[in-house]
A and B are shown apart, each in its own frame.
Chain A
């Protein structure tokens, strides 16, 4: 038994099962094939990143996870140029392109796109470990590379496959490409510091040639060089915001701008393309590459990341205070007293009956000093100037009258070629207020307070003074300036509605007081005189007709030539009560009440009763104005469609008629019921439907007891509006043609519109953007003269794109760059005057030592055997102070070797 060997157990290894490596390779092939078919059907789920289209799949090798990525350039410019120039060439290796240095575009940056800039590739696959894990062990690298070899040869996939090795930050890749009988190996060297001779072309050339190891002699190597210079010290061209000092506070505009130069670095590049290697000399001792002689110049700018933006920050400040729960009085403490304590009724008596308009501000100031137990957050002088801005009617020579600015702007607008044809139109959907109204100005003043005058306390102070002023104006019946006349406009923000409401109350109070005095004087004088107001003959008649207690009162005008049905007296339209005004929050409460009643018949009736107050009032006024009238008369005026005329004439010579069936309904007819209960009372003596005193007090209470958070909430919509307006203005002032500005402002607008309904806002990015443009304009065009070429270039650069400088130093931009570099060099020379060596090198050129050098070497070599075909060989060297990188691609003939 023991000798028996169980075969099945002994040879347990199952050779039919694929190894993990095989599974891995199979999976890779599967994915790549899938992508290929997707491509043909053009229905791939593609992630767009600038000009790159990227596809990603997860793939595992044993328990190690990788991403397989497919990078492809969207619009293949290279492809078209290649096909036109290189069609004759039999080999079409992906590295065999003629573009060595691409113009950089920040927007096109994607994680692995560096491969494209090194090798000039348009399409490639990358295998990279997920997470921040590097492939560092040699055996792993070999395994992965072998997988790539296998996939590449079995698929004939026409695109290079790369694997990312070493630590990720090193951006080190190996790769392979196979096609047309040629295999190209992509290799890379990445070092902190390279051998010193390799920093120059000659050294690199030697290394390149020896690496190729061609059995026969090499052709001439094509060389391209690019030198890069950074300019981050702009010297006297350091750009600064003009109005940044708080000493001279511009009260009427929102703060705008960045506090540091938004352009952090100007990168200047000088390039030489496709030179023969034996024609140029570049070594430690001597270099033919003087940027001034370079055939091609280009430059790009780097922006300061996250600069401090004043406008954005001030808005952010409001957002941060949204949760502030304390009231203005909590914030101000002793300084402000509650209104009930503050308003001494005796003050009213001692005050002159007709207050002079200037007494108002001095009163505000006096009030501050009177109760000056704590230090006011805002100094009086500043406070007064702010209040004068809000209430310019207090100063006859005010620099900021309401509506004054508007006219000027309208005349300017005609020859304005702004970003938007009519900026005002863009704000139509904003639930804010009209431009440069009191609400608008208040929000600006609050911003100043919060931003630069002392923070939340200052904000509370301004609000307190503002409310005091509102109360004062109500008490003194002085109209509030800078508000659109008329009813609270529900299209504006709540704060604006409240102020409009207060203004309406003041207006009604005024007219009430006026009519009161009129009425009084009328009553004192002869009765005859009083009724002379409506001097008509019929008046006399009707007066005689009606008994003393039934005199017609409150007539507005005759209603056509209609006569009362019963008496034949003319039908008069009565003076009615002014309509009831509501702000949206009150309206909402009303709606809620109506809704809560439900939707059945009783509820409908109840609603009708609630709504019938104004009907009753109108009926009473009508009765008062038309003694002896009946409900039919009322209906003829009030709802003419419910009066059906007949052909016959009545005794007064007007057409007979009858009420419509619906007015004749007996059951629960509210119209008839109301008419019956209505007493003849003129509007002036009725209970007021709209109690302006109560409503005004409500508004004042509302304003008074806002918390800091609520104040911010009320202000932010308006502020968003102001801010976008300010941005648009600034963007307009910038002379460059900002391609994206309109789009960006559009998106802000859409955003802002939503904010005006729901609070949240971030215009910061755009602010920085405008400032970047300003800074660049200043650097390239310090004189500020109109220059379209520069403007166009700036507009291009500011979006993160590199631009080529035509005519080099003969062009204006080129000249500016040279002079800026020269200036910096001069300073550098002064500093290092002792160091003769650097001084010597500096005098030689206006440019400092290049910050980065790039070399591209290309040659077609016979490899590996002397009878092999010519295969493209490539080496790119990127050397700078931080790293030394060689990216090589060396091809072998795999058909004849």
Chain B
């Protein structure tokens, strides 16, 4: 059904990138995942988005070392009930942005839980960045920067405090994540050439042990 629409065809033709990374933003409900993604992809901020139903995505192409890296960023619903649906999309993700809300203790306490989810459902070398969002709301802060930093160190991941509203560190988070993934990729390139080809389209992203896939889906 997609092929008929000219708009989709345009998207499908948009194949000119060198790598494609699949990223996921996860975290408790209403920590600001959707706003964060909109700030990055569209550079806009709306105080309220309708709570995400299931899963959604946005695309952004960035340049790194003269390579076009297409980011396919999946935004997930944080509600408990959506876990089974969203975790199904973890596989094949190369990076995770694990987000909590610095004004909400519970969302911070859930971080460990989310890490377990990542460990269970993603592949081993997926990269994770811990993000404490809403850092503009200093008055309502209940999770200190230090606690976030400490937890990140414990988990062995990098840490940022961000604000989608004030556009603080949003771009930095994505850039850093892309960097980590690229580094990891060049590390393992010698031992695993499939990553290289997989970067553009395919095997490692989907993990399906099958041959050529539909080549022209517009991802």
Contacts and interface: CB of A to CB of B under 8 A. Distances in A.
Interface residues of A, number: 55
Contacts of B53: 608, 611-612, 615, 670-671
Nearest to A755: B209
A618 B30 CA distance: 20
Interface stretch (A517-525, A584-592, A817-825, A872-880): A584-592
Contacts of B63: none
A803 to B, nearest CB: 33
B28 interface: yes
Counting chain B residues whose Cβ lies within 8 A of the other chain, the interface size class is 35 or more
Contacts of B57: 594-595, 599
A571 to B, nearest CB: 16
- Residue with the highest number of chain A CB atoms closer than 10 Å, among B28, B41, B88: B88
B207 A584 contact: yes
A757 B204 contact: yes
Contacts of A580: 84-85
A598 B8 CA distance: 7
Interface string B178-219: 000000000000011010000000011011111101100111
A582 B88 contact: yes
Contacts of B7: 598
B91 A618 contact: no
A642 B51 contact: yes
Interface string B25-69: 000111000000000010000011111111111110000000000
A671 B214 contact: no
A614 interface: yes
Interface string B62-84: 00000000001000001101001
A478 interface: no
A463 to B, nearest CB: 18
B13 interface: no
Contact of B89 (A591, A660, A713): A591
Interface in A634-668: 638-639, 641-642, 660-665, 668
Contact of B209 (A431, A595, A663): A431
Interface in B1-20: 1-2, 7-8, 11
B62 to A, nearest CB: 15
A428 interface: yes
Contact of A662 (B49, B124, B194, B206): B49
Interface in A754-789: 754, 756-759
Interface string B89-128: 1010000000000001000000000000000010110000
Contact of A494 (B41, B89, B204, B209): B209
A759 B88 CA distance: 24
Nearest to B125: A429
Contacts of B203: 757-758
B209 A713 contact: yes
Contact of A594 (B51, B55, B104, B194): B55
A661 B209 contact: no
B218 A618 contact: no
B137 to A, nearest CB: 14
B155 to A, nearest CB: 19
B115 to A, nearest CB: 17
Contacts of B191: 750
24 contacts: A429-B123, A429-B124, A490-B88, A490-B91, A490-B207, A494-B209, A584-B207, A584-B208, A585-B208, A594-B55, A595-B57, A595-B219, A596-B1, A612-B53, A615-B53, A618-B81, A638-B81, A662-B49, A662-B50, A663-B50, A670-B50, A671-B50, A713-B211, A750-B191
Interface of A: 428-429, 431, 487, 490-491, 493-494, 579-580, 582, 584-585, 587-588, 591-592, 594-599, 604, 607-608, 610-612, 614-615, 618, 638-639, 641-642, 660-665, 668-671, 713-714, 717, 750, 754, 756-759
Given A598-B8, A638-B81, A639-B79, 14 more contacts: A487-B84, A490-B88, A585-B210, A587-B89, A595-B219, A597-B2, A608-B50, A641-B28, A641-B29, A660-B48, A662-B48, A665-B48, A670-B53, A750-B191
- 5 tightest Cβ-Cβ pairs between the two chains A and B: A611-B54, A596-B2, A662-B48, A579-B84, A608-B53
Interface of B: 1-2, 7-8, 11, 28-30, 41, 47-59, 72, 78-79, 81, 84-85, 88-89, 91, 104, 121, 123-124, 191-192, 194, 203-204, 206-211, 213-214, 217-219
